[in-house]
Structure 1
Amino acid sequence: MESRAPNNGRVALVTGGSRGIGLGIAAWLIVEGWQVVIADVDRRRGAIVAQELGDNAWFVALDVSSEPHVALAVAEVLGQFGRLDALINNAGIADPINGPLEELTLAHWNRVLAVNLTGAMLLAKHCAAYLRSHHGSIINVSSSRAHQSEPHTEAYSATKGGLLALTHAMAVSLGPEIRVNAVSPGWIDSRDPSARRDEPLGETDHAQHPAGRVGEVEDIASAVAWLLSPDSEFVTGQEFVIDGGMTRKMIYAE
């Protein structure tokens, strides 16, 4: 991933693209020659990241939970580049713990749904016409938590499960011009490089995975890149769980 391919003319919009998995996806697509629009609510970090990624990166401020913001951001992208080929719905409130259900406030519940689930619907709604023109793709970033849970994760888990249902619903509604798929990461060490260096994960963290290690952002980014490529043109409405095998592992107290 050291060399950058020439711009291939295709434009991808990555929400939540200034850090973590979103940043990993943006960086990978840029290496493959995509023009990438990094959309994020964090204006300062987003602008810095886009500058660091080079000429094939462009930043737009976006609160995915606000339809007026979504409409304006999409209009800015089209005004700047004149086309859109891929939408990666990655933005989300990442902390899965909401506390005991009895203490879960409606405000917190609604906020998590608005960002993690409604945001994906709003982006798809406003991008669909432009994606259709170029037989584009939508990738929704869900989570292995759509299938298994820790205690006190109702809001987050509900949104990730909802994204899977939204994925197959949109695949049927928007096909055949637009393909829609989902990736569901497991434990991905998506911290900044400095944090990974200063506080490396332990051997136990890695060894518990059937694959032998905790995931990296590149594991997700490479899968997204394949789903956006012509090699996957017969794939739509599907979920790809990328978790090192953890959701297939029986875990019992001994």
Structure 2
Amino acid sequence: MKKVSIITGGAKGIGAAIGYRLGKQGYAVVIADVDEEAGKYRENHFRGEGIDSFFIKTDVSSEMDVSNMVEKVYGRYGRIDVLVNNAGIGFSGKSIEEQTLDEWRRVIETNLTGVWLCSKYAVKYMKNNGGVIVNIASTRAFQSEPNTEPYSASKGGIIALTHSLAVSLSKYNIRVVSISPGWIDTSRWQVPPRESTLSGLDHGQHLTRRVGKPEDVASLVTFLVSDDASWISGVNFTIDGGMTVKMIYIDENVIQDSLTMLFNDVEVSYQIRKLIEKIKKADNKENIKSKLDELLRSL
């Protein structure tokens, strides 16, 4: 009998790539997403690829939505084998002094409470045959850039929830794992697909010399839900091209901060930062090189 997977946030990005990979492995794929237009697009895309798929509009922060979604899935297929808790939203980037309680609640309710709700209702049917729950966390659970408090807290909570669920659900032969992706370029899996705008700096700072792709995460999910991973439960897998072992993401802000420390002069570092930005945008870099040579000779 065909196995059945639910992918929350499955219309775009990492979730869509996971659904596609599982579908090609023979799973029925339920796309649970709050974006109705994108969900219908992805449903048609999957069906065009021969994947048994259907879309259910679902806000994972709504208990009623989640309950209704799970009942529809079971009513259609009579089983649930895999749940991928992927749905999540980002953050405003505002400082903690400017963040609102509404923003905090919105992020936590979607990213963390949504994982708990979907697991709670899916287990009702998953326990009939056993199965696997995969929770998509983030490397932000372990390290942060400034002003990411709601998002980082939600992703850290997912990892803790993962090992708690793994212990509680083991009696039903349900394995639970989490995955923490790093920087993933989701351009090709947006609706509609778009071209990547990443730079050589973006790719080159990774140990693997490239930013991740949704397919990288999908490959790991496919392994973790397979029988080959039957001895794995309760743990987190980091997939980030080696970035977290470097402990730094390089961009113009990091360069400027480093120059400020090097020269102990904020104005000089700011001027060099502006020069870098101008060079990046310039069409005639040979002219800039000539002027820089003249400047260096005059010093």
TM-score range normalised by the length of the shorter chain = over 0.9
* Cross-structure match for 1:116: 111
TM-score, scaled to structure 1: 0.93
Matched residue, 1:51: 44
Confirm or deny that 1:241 pairs with 2:238: yes
1:202 and 1:216 map into 2 onto residues whose CA distance is 15
One-letter code aligned to 2:35: D
What is the aligned counterpart of 2:210 among 213, 229, 235?
213
Q: Which one of 180, 197, 200 corresponds to residue 197 of structure 2?
A: 200
Which range moved further: 142-151 or 199-208? Answer: 199-208
- 1:195: Cα distance to partner? 5.9
Aligned to 1:102: 97
Distance 1:22 1:250, change over 3 A: closer
Contact 2:34 2:57 in 1 (8 A): yes
In 2, the alpha carbon distance for the partners of 1:189 and 1:160 equals 19
Relative contact order: is structure 1 or structure 2 higher (C-alpha 8 Å, sep ≥ 6)?
A: 1
After the TM superposition, which residues 37-186 of structure 1 pair with which residues of structure 2 at under 5 Å, given as runs?
A: 37-54=30-47, 55-93=51-89, 95-176=90-171, 177-186=173-182
Identify unmatched segments of 5+ residues in structure 2. 249-253, 263-299
Distance across 2 between alignment mates of 1:215 and 1:28: 16
Aligned length, in residue pairs: 245
Distance 1:196 1:62 in 2: 25
**Larger CA deviation: 127-136 vs 145-154:** 127-136
SS in 2 for 1:133: coil
Instruction: Give 2:22's match in structure 1, choosing from 29, 33, 36.
Output: 29
Please give the root-mean-square deviation of Cα atoms over the aligned residues, in Å: 1.5
For 1:171 and 1:101, how far apart are their aligned partners in 2? 33
Could you tell me which of 223, 228, 249 is aligned with 1:226? 223
SS in 2 for 1:102: coil
CA-to-aligned-CA distance 1:16-71 (integer Å, 9 cap, x gap): 00000000000111111110000001112101210111141111110100101111
Contact 2:112 2:155 in 1 (8 A): yes
Higher helix share: 2
Point out where structure 1 has 5 or more consecutive residues left out of the alignment. 1-7
The percentage of aligned residue pairs carrying the same residue is 47
**1:192 Cα deviation from its structure 2 partner:** 3.2
C-alpha spacing 1:31/1:241, structure 2 compared with 1 (3 Å): same
Instruction: State the Cα distance separating 1:196 from its structure 2 match.
Output: 4.8
CA distance in 1, matches of 2:64, 2:201: 46
SS at match of 2:6: strand
Residue 183 of structure 2: aligned partner:
187
Contact 2:91-2:107 at 8 Å conserved across structures: no
Other-structure match for 1:3: none
> Which residue pairs with 2:290 in the alignment?
none
CA distance in 2: counterparts of 1:72 and 1:86, whole angstroms: 17
Q: Are the aligned partners of 2:9 and 2:87 in contact in 1 as well (CA < 8 Å)?
A: yes
**Runs of 4+ with deviation above 3 angstroms:** 192-196, 250-254
Letter of the structure 1 residue corresponding to residue 98 of structure 2: E
